Amino acid sequence: MKIDSEEIFEKYIVPGFFVLILFIATIFIFSNFYWYKSVPINKAIHVNAIYSSYEKKSQRIVRGGYSYYIILEFSNYKKLEIEPIVFEVFDEQIENAIKGIEPGTEVSLLIHPYGDAILGLEANGKKILSYDETQKIRTKEGIGFLIFGLIIYGICISLLVFLNKRKRRMPRYVRFKK
């Protein structure tokens, strides 16, 4: 019994590739419903913490540039971050406002229940990060993930239909050669 490389490719590698791509698309689609889901203000975690410092960090992104975000440190609470998608919209405004907070100041935070993302930040009676604006940005980002996942699903299904039709059009002796 001779093993044909084309047969292995068609039986195992192509279906495995499609399963992997569909799995990745599923992650994009369901991340929208978990991480980027709009959280009602009463379900957000409300915390009053003592601000100690902040750190601006960068991460390399696919487009060849850098994405920036801020990590806030508190003396009585864990480190939290202002996500890159939010920070990119209000970068200088947020950073300047955070620079103006004195260490030891009590700040009021609204935190996403599924992670350490800050949805709202208030210090000295002044809103630094608006809950409503943050939710709009996160919802927009989530819709982008959803659309991307659905496009990947559409491409995979179209390719499967195309390959199946192509296989049916092949002469019988080519499809069933031994």
58 vs 119: CA distance, rounded Å: 20
Kindly state the DSSP code that residue 105 receives in the 8-state scheme.
-
Q: Is the pLDDT assigned to residue 177 strictly greater than 60?
A: no
- Sign, CA dihedral 65-63-96-82, equals negative
Region class of 129: left (phi > 0), else alpha (psi between -120 and 50), else beta: beta
pLDDT in tens, 33-87: 777 777 888 888 999 999 999 888 877 776 667 777 888 899 998 888 887 777 6
Number of neighbouring beta carbons within 10 Å of residue 153: 16
> Taking the CA atoms of the chain, what radius of gyration do you get in angstroms?
24
To 5 degrees, how large is the angle CA 69–CA 126–CA 34? 45
Place of tokens 């907070």: 101
Condensed to tens digits (0 to 9), the pLDDT of residues 79-127 reads 888 877 776 777 678 888 888 889 999 999 998 887 778 888 999 888 9
